[in-house]
Amino acid sequence: MKQYRIDEFRLAEYPKIKKYFDDNFSFSDLGGLYWIPLDDNLLTDVQAAHAECQPFFFAVELEETSISFELLVRTKSRIRCDCIGYATEAQRNWLVRLADSIFNKLDIIV
């Protein structure tokens, strides 16, 4: 799986990161898994055409000393579809900038 991973942050930073994700993103019944909605302006033509599959998300796994932003654009309504696939360059860059901005907001140096 392709991903943007930030690791080796301090245990003391985990509660701050978890609170931010709890407050700002939806989470799965599986502990530590969050869903970041993809900005609609970044949808590919195929994703935009698949109204029944929208919205699209990136999955994020938060652990005590690391966080992994998967680079697979997913939908919660289907497991397989032509609209599900690895992020385009623009989608990937958007996600990496978002992840970096979260750590900047929280004053966590990575």
The total number of structural domains in the chain stands at: 1
Which value, to the nearest 10 degrees, does the dihedral of the CA atoms of residues 80, 82, 86, 90 take? Answer: -140
| 110 falls within a domain | no
Tokens representing 38? 């993809």
Q: Which residues contact 41 (CB under 8 A, 6 or more apart)?
A: none
pLDDT digit string, tens, across residues 45-61: 999 999 999 999 999 99
pLDDT digit string, tens, across residues 66-99: 999 999 999 988 889 999 999 999 999 999 999 9
**What pTM was estimated for this model as a whole?**
0.90
64 vs 6: CA distance, rounded Å: 11
| 47 falls within a domain | yes
Taking alpha carbons only, the member of 84, 105, 86, 106 closest to residue 95 is 86
CATH number, residue 66? 3.30.530
Please check whether residue 105 is in contact with residue 90, taking contact to mean a CB–CB distance below 8 angstroms.
no
| 33 falls within a domain | yes
110 vs 55: CA distance, rounded Å: 30
Domain that holds residue 19: 3-105
| 26 falls within a domain | yes
| 77 falls within a domain | yes
User: How much is the pLDDT for 78?
Assistant: 84
